Amino acid sequence: MKTLGLFRHAKSDWNDARLRDFDRPLNKRGREGAGLMGLHIRDYGVLWRRIIASPAVRVTQTIELAAEAAGQVPPLNWDRRIYLASSPTLMELLREQHSDQDGGPPTILMVGHNPGLEDLIFDLVPDDGSSPLRDMIEDKFPTAAFAVLELDIEDWRDIDDGCARLVHVMRPRDLDPRLGPSLED
């Protein structure tokens, strides 16, 4: 069995229309949410053996703030292919994480963007009632959300549609209602 964590970047700032999408920073609510989620991810208790992340500014800031709050400096693998990637692209990146000796790390945390992360959940987790938390994602996998999937595979090369169970979902607003959607967004 493998464990996959998915962490979407926190809320970004849209105030400077001159910035490229890749260069958008976090807004105030995003900075607060990133730190709070960093504590939650640490306290969830999984040791993430590999972290792969988009190098977009909003992702790098999310990781920096989450790591600072958690008091941990994670080893990171930046991969530009994660930036705005589709579910099939993300799945292919995960397949590349294998190792000929042991099938690759037991746990991977991927930090990136929607709609790719949300679609990846829908592709990996069957819509058959076996993962009741899947319904929580039906509305949206919001900014700074964190999900954990257990995959019925021994090697990352074997990741495919329907091979996972969604075992945990947490959103910033679940930890602090002030970080939920507002009329300003």
In a domain, 158, yes or no: no
In a domain, 157, yes or no: no
Average pLDDT, the chain: 92
- pLDDT confidence tier of residue 178, bands split at 50, 70 and 90: confident
In a domain, 99, yes or no: yes
**Distance between CA atoms of residues 30 and 36, nearest Å:** 10
Side-chain-side CA neighbours of residue 116 (13 Å): 23
CATH number of the domain residue 68 falls in: 3.40.50.1240
In a domain, 165, yes or no: no
**Distance between CA atoms of residues 152 and 2, nearest Å:** 7
Is 18 or 182 the better-scoring residue by pLDDT?
18
Q: What is the pLDDT of residue 184?
A: 45
In a domain, 161, yes or no: no
In Å, how far are 14, 30, 47, 174 from 76, measured between CA atoms? 26, 21, 13, 27
Query: Which residues make Cβ contacts (< 8 Å) with residue 81, sequence separation at least 6?
Result: 89, 93
pLDDT in tens, 15-61: 888 889 999 999 999 999 999 999 999 999 999 999 999 999 999 99
In a domain, 46, yes or no: yes
Q: What is the mean pLDDT of residues 80-98?
A: 96
Indicate the pTM of the whole model: 0.93
Domain region containing 63: 2-148
Q: How many domains does the chain have?
A: 1
**Distance between CA atoms of residues 112 and 82, nearest Å:** 6
Query: Which residues make Cβ contacts (< 8 Å) with residue 138, sequence separation at least 6?
Result: none
Most confident of the ranges 42-46, 98-102, 174-178: 42-46
